[in-house]
Amino acid sequence: MKNKKITVLGGAGHIGLPLSIVFANKGFDVSVLDNNLETLRLAKNGIMPFKEKDGVKNLKKALKRKLNFYSKPSNFISDSTIIITVGTPVDEFLNPDMSQIKNCIDELIPFIKKGQLIILRSTVYPGTSEWLFHYLNKKKKCHVAFCHERVIQGYTFDEIEKLPQIIAASSNSAQKKATEIFEKISKKIVYCSLKEAEFSKLFSNAFRYSQFAVANEFYMLADRAGLDFNRIRKITKEGYPRAEGLPSAGFAAGPCLLKDTMQLLSFSRNNFSIGNSSMLVNEGLVLYLIDKLEKKYDLKKKNIGLLGMAFKAECDDTRSSLSYKLKKFLISKAKNVFCTDPFVKTDNKLVKLNYLLSKSDILILCVPHKKYRNLKIKNKEIIDIWGFIKK
């Protein structure tokens, strides 16, 4: 392999940093490019800016190899493969916002050369990869590939080398170049067209989001009937393989699931009915819980404690967490709202678990962190939609 230099744009983020570490530990000369100075400072000093299994160990190993950090692009990117971990977010109207990728590319253009390979790594709106190829073709004639990530956040180092890597490219040459890079970290490569790969990533997240919506709809149906959904789920799955895919009820959130489902909804001109319904169910679960509490209690006389503020279990990431949506609604209705989380470090309003337990009249398990599994609580109502806390 001729070129072993890689620049990862957004390289200090949840997708970019673990990927940069993996490549550095495989012998690549990796440049981390990110405008977040604080996360760069932490990574330089061997501190993972977020929770990632074996993250510190792998980061410290990578720092002994070739792992460099930059906050602005310059000539160092001109002879490297560039991996962009910035995706397509959605705006306040839940429509794709292409400006983030375009702005990133425009910053890179003065320093890139003809024939360089640009790889998109994060989820993008269908057609973005082809748009990028044509946009660059007018300026620097670069190769383009879409090689999306597939790992579970927090477990990158466990999964990245086990999962097949999908590679889609603008040409045979681009495909070959991308393969030379990813075959060093992936045991199997799957090839397809650019748009097929884009849809594959979106379908994957929208499918998971709709699965959670089915479980949450079932939970609300059972609850309205005065039944325990988790007991019914257990009965249904017992020795019955065809029901194994039914997840527990719970908050379906995070930076990808809703966003990617909404991108498909936008692409379909609002004709993606399952995606739209899934959004209404998953986002509406918060409102259902509030209505349930208001029918039973005078909330202005009750202190409510929220257990878990990250968007998923054993995670410190609060992006798009439904716990905060629940908190926002409850603040105007309850006497006090207390929040706690054993992993989140970015919210100075969180309180200690014991303080929350002593002050709260009603508890809501928002996130099933392992720490909450064996809570011993008396004389307080616990709303545990997950069916997680041992009784």
pLDDT of 3? 65
Report whether 201 contacts 190 (CB < 8 A): no
The pLDDT of residue 2? 63
- The interaxial angle of helices 194-224 and 229-237, nearest 10 deg, is 120
Q: 81-84 and 67-70 as β-strands: parallel, antiparallel, unpaired? A: unpaired
Q: Is the dihedral of CA 108, 111, 112, 118 positive or negative?
A: negative
Q: What's the longest Cα–Cα distance across the chain?
A: 69
Q: pLDDT tens across 326-379, in order? A: 999 999 999 999 999 999 999 999 999 999 999 999 999 999 999 999 998 888
Q: Which residues, in sequence order, are bridge partners of residue 29? A: 5
H helices of the chain, where? 16-25, 37-44, 55-63, 99-108, 128-137, 156-159, 172-182, 194-224, 229-237, 257-267, 273-296, 322-331, 353-359
How many CB atoms lie under 10 A from the CB of residue 333? 16
**In angstroms, rounded to a whole number, what is the distance separating the alpha carbons of residues 348 and 386?**
27
Closest CA to 122 of 104, 140, 108, 137: 104
What the chain holds in terms of domains, given with CATH numbers, is 5-192 (3.40.50.720), 200-383 (3.40.50.720)
Sheet architecture: strand order including 67-70: 67-70, 29-33, 5-9, 81-84, 117-120, 143-146, 165-169, 189-192
Question: How many other C-beta atoms can be found within 10 angstroms of the C-beta atom of residue 166?
Answer: 21
pLDDT score recorded for residue 87: 85
Mean pLDDT (10-residue bins), the chain, 391 residues: 86 97 97 97 97 97 97 95 92 86 93 96 95 92 96 95 97 97 96 98 97 98 97 97 96 95 95 97 98 97 98 96 98 98 97 97 98 91 94 76
What does the alpha-carbon distance between residue 268 and residue 266 come to, in Å, rounded to a whole number?
A: 5
Which residues lie closer than 8 Å to 143 by C-beta, 6 or more apart?
A: 115, 116, 117, 118, 169, 170, 171, 173, 174, 177
pLDDT tens digits, one per residue of 96-127: 898 989 999 999 999 999 999 999 999 999 99
